[in-house]
Amino acid sequence: MRIDILTIFPEMFQSPFDASIIKRAREKGLVDIHTYNLRDWATDKHKTTDDTPYGGGGGMIMKPEPIFAAVEAIKDEEEIPIILLTPQGRLFTQEVAEELARHDRLLFICGRYEGVDERIRQHLATDEISIGDYVLSGGELAAMVITDAVVRLLPGALGYERAAAEDSHATGLLEGPHYTRPPEFRGWAIPEVLTSGHHAKVAEWRRRQALKRTLERRPDMLARARLSSQDKRWLREMGYAGPFAEED
C-alpha cells in the first residue's frame, strides 16, 4: 500500500512513523508512506498556503491552488481515495479502517486553521473523515491515527499470529482481561481457569469475559455485534435486556 500525506507540518509525522508497527511495516515493504510539504506548491515568494475568509470573520482558510496542484502532481491519472481530514467528515471506526485497508493507495489532505476553501471539498476530495467529535488544531494527528489503524490491518504487519481480526472492535466486542506472569502479584491471583490447560474452558471463559466487559462498558455495541445463540443466552443471564442484530 502507498499512503501520501499533504500537510504544512511534515515534521510532525517523523517519530510516529518511525516506531513500532508502522516502522516495521515500512521496513518490510508493506507500506510506503510519503509526506509532502504543501508549501512546495505555493506560488508566491512567501510560500503562502492560507488566506483570510471572504465575507470577513476570524481565522485563516487554506487556499485551493497549492492543494489542487499538489494532489494533481502526486496522484497521476489514477482514481484514488482523496481524503480530507475534518471534524465535519464521516466518523472513523474500525469498519472504515478495514475499508481503507483494501485500497492500494490513499491520499490524505491535512486541513489546518479554521478550514479549507470549500472548492477543495466539492471538487477534489472524494471522502471526508473525522476521528471523533472534538476539534484538533489540524488534520495531522487524525492522519496519523488513521494510518496507524490501517497499517496494522495489512497482512504481515503484526509480527504475531493473533490476527488483527481478534482485536476489540474488529469482533464487534471489547476484549476481556489479559494476564501475564507472575500468577500472583501483591496477593492478586490470576483466574484459575487460565492455568488449567483446558483449552475449551479457556475459550469459553474468554468469550464470556468479552461479553461481560462489552455489556458493562459499551452495551450499545451489543446491538450490532455478531453473536451466537450461546452468546445471547449468556448475555440475557448477565442481565442484558436490549436488542440483538438481525442475523445474516
List the catalytic residues.
87, 114, 152, 167
7 in contact with ligand ADE (CB under 6 A): no
Residue 45 DSSP one-character state = T
CA atoms within 13 A on the CB side of 9: 14
CA atoms within 13 A on the CB side of 38: 23
- Distance between CA 209 and CA 177 in Å, rounded? 7
Name which of 53 and 87 has its Cβ closer to ligand ADE: 87
Q: Measured in Å, how far apart are the chain's first and last C-alpha atoms?
A: 31
Name which of 135 and 165 has its Cβ closer to ligand ADE: 135
- Distance between CA 25 and CA 226 in Å, rounded? 30
Site for ligand ADE in 57-86 (CB under 6 A): 85-86
Site for ligand ADE in 123-182 (CB under 6 A): 130-132, 134-136, 138-139, 142
H/E element holding 123? helix 118-123
Least distance from ligand ADE to the Cβ atom of residue 238, Å? 34
Q: Which three cell numbers stand for residue 25?
A: 511495516
Name which of 85 and 107 has its Cβ closer to ligand ADE: 85
The site for ligand ADE, by CB under 6 A, has a size of: 13
Contact in structure between 66 and 42 (CB atoms under 8 Å): yes
Residue sitting closest to ligand ADE (CB)? 142
Reference 83, options 23, 147, 135; nearest CA is: 147
Q: What angle do CA 36, 15, 166 make, to 5 degrees?
A: 100
Site for ligand ADE in 210-239 (CB under 6 A): none
Least distance from ligand ADE to the Cβ atom of residue 196, Å? 45
Least distance from ligand ADE to the Cβ atom of residue 135, Å? 5
Name which of 100 and 136 has its Cβ closer to ligand ADE: 136
Q: How many Å separate Cα 229 from the centre of its chain?
A: 31
Binding mask 89-128 for ligand ADE (x = CB under 6 A): ----------------------x-----------------
Least distance from ligand ADE to the Cβ atom of residue 86, Å? 5
Q: Which three cell numbers stand for residue 38?
A: 504543501
Contact residues toward ligand ADE (CB under 6 A) are 85-87, 111, 130-132, 134-136, 138-139, 142
